[in-house]
Amino acid sequence: MSFEWRRFLHLAMELADDVTDGDALAARSRTAISRAYYAAFCSARDHLSEDLGYDVPTQGVHEYGRRQFDGLKRWRDEYKVISTYLRRLHRKRIVADYDAHWGDDVADAAQTAVADGGRVLRCLDVVRPE
Protein backbone atom coordinates (compact mmCIF):
# COMPACT_ATOMS: atom_id res chain seq x y z
CA MET A 1 0.00 0.00 0.00
CA SER A 2 1.36 3.38 -1.02
CA PHE A 3 1.63 6.07 1.64
CA GLU A 4 -0.32 9.25 0.99
CA TRP A 5 2.22 11.98 1.78
CA ARG A 6 -0.41 14.67 2.23
CA ARG A 7 -1.36 12.94 5.49
CA PHE A 8 1.75 14.56 6.94
CA LEU A 9 0.05 17.93 6.42
CA HIS A 10 -2.88 16.82 8.56
CA LEU A 11 -0.45 15.86 11.32
CA ALA A 12 1.36 19.19 10.92
CA MET A 13 -1.97 21.02 11.31
CA GLU A 14 -2.74 19.15 14.52
CA LEU A 15 0.70 19.90 15.92
CA ALA A 16 0.62 23.57 14.92
CA ASP A 17 -2.88 24.10 16.31
CA ASP A 18 -1.93 22.81 19.77
CA VAL A 19 -0.83 26.07 21.39
CA THR A 20 -0.15 24.67 24.85
CA ASP A 21 2.75 26.67 26.22
CA GLY A 22 6.01 25.26 27.49
CA ASP A 23 8.91 23.23 26.19
CA ALA A 24 6.65 21.03 24.11
CA LEU A 25 5.48 24.02 22.04
CA ALA A 26 8.85 24.34 20.32
CA ALA A 27 9.04 20.60 19.67
CA ARG A 28 5.51 20.49 18.25
CA SER A 29 6.08 23.59 16.13
CA ARG A 30 9.38 22.34 14.73
CA THR A 31 7.85 18.95 13.95
CA ALA A 32 4.90 20.66 12.26
CA ILE A 33 7.29 22.60 10.03
CA SER A 34 9.16 19.43 9.11
CA ARG A 35 6.01 17.43 8.37
CA ALA A 36 4.50 20.29 6.32
CA TYR A 37 7.65 20.33 4.20
CA TYR A 38 7.66 16.57 3.68
CA ALA A 39 3.96 16.54 2.79
CA ALA A 40 4.66 19.09 0.06
CA PHE A 41 8.04 17.78 -1.05
CA CYS A 42 7.16 14.08 -1.30
CA SER A 43 3.89 14.85 -3.08
CA ALA A 44 5.75 17.11 -5.53
CA ARG A 45 8.49 14.51 -6.06
CA ASP A 46 5.88 11.86 -6.81
CA HIS A 47 4.17 14.23 -9.28
CA LEU A 48 7.46 14.60 -11.15
CA SER A 49 7.95 10.86 -11.27
CA GLU A 50 4.45 9.42 -11.63
CA ASP A 51 2.62 12.14 -13.57
CA LEU A 52 5.41 13.75 -15.61
CA GLY A 53 7.70 10.73 -16.12
CA TYR A 54 10.87 12.24 -14.65
CA ASP A 55 13.60 9.85 -13.53
CA VAL A 56 13.95 11.25 -10.01
CA PRO A 57 17.31 10.44 -8.38
CA THR A 58 17.63 9.32 -4.79
CA GLN A 59 20.77 11.41 -4.17
CA GLY A 60 20.26 15.17 -4.16
CA VAL A 61 16.53 14.72 -4.63
CA HIS A 62 15.53 17.86 -2.72
CA GLU A 63 17.59 20.19 -4.90
CA TYR A 64 16.68 18.19 -8.01
CA GLY A 65 12.97 18.62 -7.33
CA ARG A 66 13.26 22.36 -6.74
CA ARG A 67 15.27 22.78 -9.97
CA GLN A 68 12.69 20.84 -11.98
CA PHE A 69 9.83 22.97 -10.70
CA ASP A 70 11.88 26.10 -11.42
CA GLY A 71 12.10 24.89 -15.02
CA LEU A 72 8.41 24.06 -15.21
CA LYS A 73 7.21 27.40 -13.83
CA ARG A 74 7.18 29.00 -17.27
CA TRP A 75 4.53 26.49 -18.41
CA ARG A 76 1.97 26.89 -15.62
CA ASP A 77 1.47 29.38 -12.82
CA GLU A 78 0.89 26.49 -10.40
CA TYR A 79 4.45 25.27 -10.96
CA LYS A 80 5.74 28.73 -10.04
CA VAL A 81 3.81 28.53 -6.76
CA ILE A 82 5.10 25.00 -6.11
CA SER A 83 8.68 26.10 -6.78
CA THR A 84 8.42 29.18 -4.55
CA TYR A 85 6.84 27.44 -1.58
CA LEU A 86 9.02 24.33 -1.75
CA ARG A 87 12.08 26.58 -1.44
CA ARG A 88 10.55 28.52 1.43
CA LEU A 89 9.48 25.36 3.25
CA HIS A 90 12.86 23.73 2.73
CA ARG A 91 14.69 26.67 4.33
CA LYS A 92 12.35 26.56 7.34
CA ARG A 93 12.65 22.79 7.64
CA ILE A 94 16.45 23.00 7.76
CA VAL A 95 16.30 25.52 10.61
CA ALA A 96 13.58 23.57 12.44
CA ASP A 97 15.50 20.30 12.21
CA TYR A 98 19.06 21.48 12.82
CA ASP A 99 19.28 24.92 14.47
CA ALA A 100 19.11 25.00 18.27
CA HIS A 101 18.00 28.65 18.29
CA TRP A 102 14.90 29.96 16.58
CA GLY A 103 15.02 33.70 15.98
CA ASP A 104 11.31 34.28 15.40
CA ASP A 105 8.09 32.95 16.86
CA VAL A 106 8.32 29.23 16.14
CA ALA A 107 4.57 28.69 16.60
CA ASP A 108 3.84 31.35 13.99
CA ALA A 109 6.41 29.77 11.67
CA ALA A 110 4.62 26.43 12.06
CA GLN A 111 1.27 27.98 11.07
CA THR A 112 2.91 29.57 8.03
CA ALA A 113 4.55 26.27 7.05
CA VAL A 114 1.21 24.47 7.23
CA ALA A 115 -0.37 27.14 5.02
CA ASP A 116 2.54 26.92 2.55
CA GLY A 117 2.33 23.14 2.43
CA GLY A 118 -1.38 23.42 1.72
CA ARG A 119 -0.67 25.80 -1.18
CA VAL A 120 1.71 23.30 -2.74
CA LEU A 121 -0.78 20.44 -2.39
CA ARG A 122 -3.62 22.51 -3.89
CA CYS A 123 -1.45 23.42 -6.87
CA LEU A 124 -0.49 19.78 -7.36
CA ASP A 125 -4.19 18.90 -7.38
CA VAL A 126 -4.71 21.40 -10.21
CA VAL A 127 -1.84 20.16 -12.41
CA ARG A 128 -2.35 16.45 -11.76
CA PRO A 129 -3.70 14.66 -14.85
CA GLU A 130 -7.10 13.08 -14.47
DSSP string spanning 14-79? HHHH----SHHHHHHHHHHHHHHHHHHHHHHHHIIIIIT-----STTHHHHHHHHHHHHTTT-HHH
* Stretch among 9-13, 89-93, 96-100 having the lowest mean pLDDT: 96-100
- ∠ CA(47), CA(119), CA(31), 5° rounding? 90
Under CATH, which number does the domain 7-127 receive?
1.20.120.330
pTM: 0.92
Contact 72, 79 (CB under 8 A): yes
Is there a contact between 100 and 19 (Cβ–Cβ < 8 Å)? no
- pLDDT > 70? residue 119: yes
Instruction: Please determine, for residue 19, whether its predicted confidence score (pLDDT) is greater than 80.
Output: no
pLDDT score recorded for residue 1: 59
Please state the rounded mean pLDDT for residues 51-55: 92
CA atoms within a 13 Å half-sphere pointing along the CA-CB vector of 34: 12
pLDDT of the residue at 110: 94
**Which band of pLDDT confidence, cut at 50, 70 and 90, is reported for residue 104?**
confident
